[in-house]
Structure 1
């Protein structure tokens, strides 16, 4: 009985991944062309990516407000937002995010964010499910601009033990 449940769960996950790959393969690529070096910027110590979000300051480029919704449920779409502040919006060419689970290989979870008319960037993302109730993640945010390419690693947690809507 347990084997049948695991097989059904595995087939369901593979089906979802196949569906996602077929609908938006350009959003799931990791081929980020970078000319020059990728400058790593430390994440703010008090960064709360979920909920209010956090502001990231990049010397020579400006600041960005980055956020996920307060509640992130695996296998459900959530919107990841990046809002360049002030003059930073003029210099940004492309923004991508790659989600990685700390201490676990969860496959490729990379997205290119769409630029909206107001200058902000957003994308609906889906995190894979993990068998543990709580999982620690990093959103590896890459910002490509006229001033260079920057990488910020933003930690956050997903807690599946909480009821939905909290």
Structure 2
């Protein structure tokens, strides 16, 4: 597996090694020992989620506040998405910056999202199924979000605004500049 550190410290892009033959393919989705050896991050998922959405659905930008913040590994089992993360760690040199990557069934690539980051995705294919491995349980009272089109972040979404479909809850999130966060940067 190839693991590439991103400009947002603690976040990684992963590309599994595919073993193909005449029967199909095999790849290792995640290996905690190898991930820790290559990154220093001791990621131990305890909850696994999946979602399915149609083209244009944008879910995000979501996060859970302390003490229930979550790190997650995101992959796609069907279709293609634009996956986006935003650094919310106070004192981080990349605070408020984002990273975007197209994740697809075809490429089998994944994105590791550390604690202290907001996460969202936009479905680019007709449908997409997303798989998440998460290191803490969902906590409704700690669920939060940041406005997906906050101009201070400046995310370049890959579909026009009039094609984006949001939940009512996601429409209510405030911009980054109107929020304070309890995530600390540990440089």
Say whether the fold is shared (TM-score over 0.5). Answer: no
More relative contact order in 1 or in 2 (CA 8 Å, sep 6+)? 2
TM-score (norm 2): 0.27
Whichever of the two has the greater Rg, that structure is: 1
The answer to which structure has the higher helix fraction is: 1
TM-score (norm 1): 0.29
